[in-house]
Structures are given as C-alpha cells and as structure tokens.
Amino acid sequence: MTTVAAQHDESKAQYFWVWAVLLLLTAVEVVLAYRQVFQPVEMLEALMTLSVIKSALIIGYFMHLKYEVRPMKWVLMTAVIACLCFMCIFFADAFRIVELGVR
C-alpha cells in the first residue's frame, strides 16, 4: 500500500509552472478589465471563471489538496458548491438597488 506522502511530488518545476499559469491568468484578467471588451455581465462571467480556475490551481497545488484523500476532497467541494449557491442567492438581492433608484 502506498502512502499519500510517497505519491507526493515535491518538484520545484511543477510549482513554477503553476505559478506561471497563475501569473498569466492574472494578466488576462487585468487586460480584460482595462480594455472592457465585454458587457458588464459577460465581464463578470469571464472574470469569475478565471478566478475559479485560479483558486482551483492554488488549492490543488499550493495547499496540496491534489494529494489529499478522497473524502477530504468531497468535503471541500461540497463547501465550495454551497458557497457558490449562496453567492448566487445574495447577488440577486443586490439588484434591488437598481429598482430603488439609488445612484
């Protein structure tokens, strides 16, 4: 039986490539924000998608969840999905400011 620690690769090159991808995704986000090539809703969708990808890379590699046991992954993913559901519920409530006419 192999342990999780035995499967864990401590290669610095792997962390460098993940860091480079994170840096590239951040640059894409900055360019999208300054150029404003999308409508606000599309921009929010694009930036949220890039943020989810970045957070998955950070959690998987730098927080070592990639090498964690399966039940721990399920607990974390359940919490993430619950948070995303709550965000969708409360973001809808934020649109009431448009109806109130507050500028």
14-40 pLDDT per residue, tens: 889 999 999 999 999 999 989 888 888
pLDDT recorded at residue 61: 86
Distance of CA 8 to the CA centre of its chain: 23
How would residue 1 be classed by pLDDT, with cut points 50, 70 and 90? very low
Mean predicted confidence (pLDDT) in 2-22: 76
pTM of the full structure? 0.65
pLDDT recorded at residue 36: 84
pLDDT recorded at residue 23: 97
How would residue 101 be classed by pLDDT, with cut points 50, 70 and 90? low
Residues ≥6 apart with Cβ < 8 Å to 66:
60
Q: Write the pLDDT tens digit of every residue in 45-89.
A: 899 899 989 988 998 888 877 778 888 888 888 988 898 888 888
Give per-residue burial for 37-74: e unless 16+ CB within 10 Å, then b. Answer: eeeeeeeeebeeeeeeeeeebebebeeeeeeeeeeeee
Residue 95, pLDDT > 80, answer no
